[in-house]
Structure 1
């Protein structure tokens, strides 16, 4: 098999590329062997990236309100691709347009899987507003006491690897969570315990969060993200699943173990 990992230098893509060392890594700025230029904004890069490929890990364009047209154009060009594994989100409902339209497009392929992970544990450690809050000692969200089944991106990559390489196609949606549902206050308490440095959670209104996000994001995208926090406040992400164990044969990593590993 020949696998193209779109976003192969990103959070899940880089971890997946390590699990599939012979995969072709699609990135906007290839610098190493095995990498090929792929840029959603430059459709001319699609053909070379797809040459000889029969399986694709598809990460849609980031920060685009309606990525469906360009993703559909890409899939039309992927004539020899048999299996597509889409990285979606547990927070994105099916819809006729926008991010929610992508699962239906992928299901037209001969073999497919749609990954619907919960929120990443890596948001607490990387280049993310939550991580900045951890460093500043205060995480600001509009989630209230809502809980989330935070998941390690490495567990998402492990599920993706199986979905891409298993002899039989999965042909299903995989709702992926960690082993427990935590509020941001719960997560902050764990971080405080492990680091010995106080980190608190402050919940604000959806409107206030929208304004904060709009200072560094396009306004329409800030509205989308703030609404996701509102959904969390209403309990939309308060769940855990056995997907990681069922697909990979091992349990998902806990938030405590993840953050302890980050500190070590």
Structure 2
């Protein structure tokens, strides 16, 4: 008799966590949906969880054998909190861990890169998802989406640099495969959309689809860092501004076949995402 598998989805109300939980439950998998408010996710068991409150960790891990890890938001040193939790998870029987990282952060790099480096020594079954920047940054509650709605402006220090923006639904689809396939990937996966676009391209597409002018305003590294410090910590603002500077230098000008290879279907285009958003809002 095979024991039913249960997946703990941390950050189950977030951009990729909510989609991962929804796709898992839709496929019939057992899910514990962890968030600070223990918000109800259809088909999942809600469980309170706060990275900064270790008293919530044991109950969240109870009965779980795999976990989807979303780092604490805005934390420039997530390893200090995450690594003790991961040791606890292994001790209580978690066999597989899938970590959400970033295409901009390599194994052993800053922030979650330290957790990435530690994961293979903690779990025999694992994967690190390293998506490019989310398409939903321009349509949801992200600072870019807010400035688009409020000002008709996208502010970055990326200059003309291009990014393989990826749909959060595609990230979640890869997460589901990494969590549930018979064999775990046991590698890191750089996830992108099907094309690399500049922020000028993004602004032009939004303008065309919404029939409302949107422009990309280019800031210096220092201007971007200072702008971000009004929203996040100084350390995290500097790291984000550094990522923009790396984009300007071509670091994210790439696409990969990982989404297609893992899910069996091509990744969604940004134009398709915008068209879908417009249909939903009409």
Q: Same fold (TM over 0.5)?
A: yes
The match for 2:56 is: 45
Q: CA 1:96/1:184 → structure 2, altered by over 3 Å: closer, same or farther?
A: closer
Question: Which residue of 145, 148, 160 corresponds with 1:131?
Answer: 145
Which residue in the other structure is 2:134 paired with?
Answer: 120
Structure 1 gap ranges (5+):
none
Which 4+ residue blocks in structure 1 deviate beyond 6 angstroms?
Answer: none
1:52-74 deviations in Å (ceiling 9; x for gaps): 10000011111111011211100
Match of 2:38 in 1: 30
Rounded to whole Å, the distance in 1 between the matches of 2:137 and 2:212 is 18
Q: Is the 8 A contact 2:13 2:39 kept in 1?
A: no
Number of residue pairs aligned between Structure 1 and Structure 2: 264
Partner residue of 2:99? 86
**Residue 237 of structure 2: aligned partner:** 222
Task: Say what the alpha-carbon RMSD is for the aligned residues.
Answer: 1.1
Superimposed CA distance per residue, residues 8-50 of structure 1 (whole angstroms, 9 cap, x where no aligned partner): 1110010011111121101111143611011001011110000
| Whole-Å separation in 1 of the counterparts to 2:235 and 2:130 | 22
1:107 is paired with a residue whose SS is: helix
For the 8 Å contact 1:66–1:98, the answer to whether it is kept is yes
Gaps of 5+ in 2: none
Shift of 1:96: 6.5
How far apart, CA to CA, are the structure 1 residues paired with 2:228 and 2:39?
32
| Residues 1:18 and 2:3 are matched in the alignment | no
1:252 is matched with 267
Q: Distance in 2 between matches of 1:118 and 1:98?
A: 16
Distance in 2 between residues matched to 1:5 and 1:222, nearest whole Å: 27
Q: Say whether the 8 Å CA contact 1:68–1:97 is kept in structure 2.
A: no
C-alpha separation in 2, matches of 1:14 and 1:45: 19
Structure 2 vs 1, CA of residues 97 and 198 (structure 1 numbering), >3 Å: closer, same or farther? closer
How far, CA to CA, are the matches of 1:97 and 1:238 in structure 2? 21
The match for 2:174 is 159
Please state how far the C-alpha of 1:216 moved relative to its aligned partner.
2.3
Give the whole-Å Cα distance in 1 for the aligned partners of 2:147 and 2:216. 9
Question: What secondary structure is seen at the aligned counterpart in 1 of 2:225?
Answer: helix
1:203 paired residue number: 218
Question: Would you say 1:149 and 2:160 are equivalent positions?
Answer: no
- Bigger drift between 211-220 and 106-115 goes to 211-220
Partner of 1:186: 201
Partner of 2:113: 100
1: distance between equivalents of 2:107 and 2:24?
A: 30
Which deviations, in whole Å up to 9, do the C-alpha atoms of 1:212-247 show, x marking residues without a partner? Answer: 111222111111111110000000000000111000
Question: 1:102-137: per-residue Cα shift (whole Å, max 9, x none)?
Answer: 111211211000000000000001111211222121
Distance 2:50 2:268 in 1: 32
Please state how far the C-alpha of 1:97 moved relative to its aligned partner: 5.6
CA distance in 2, matches of 1:227, 1:234: 11
Cα distance in 2 for partners of 1:138, 1:261 equals 22
Q: Which residue of 1 aligns with 2:124?
A: 110
TM-score (norm 2): 0.91
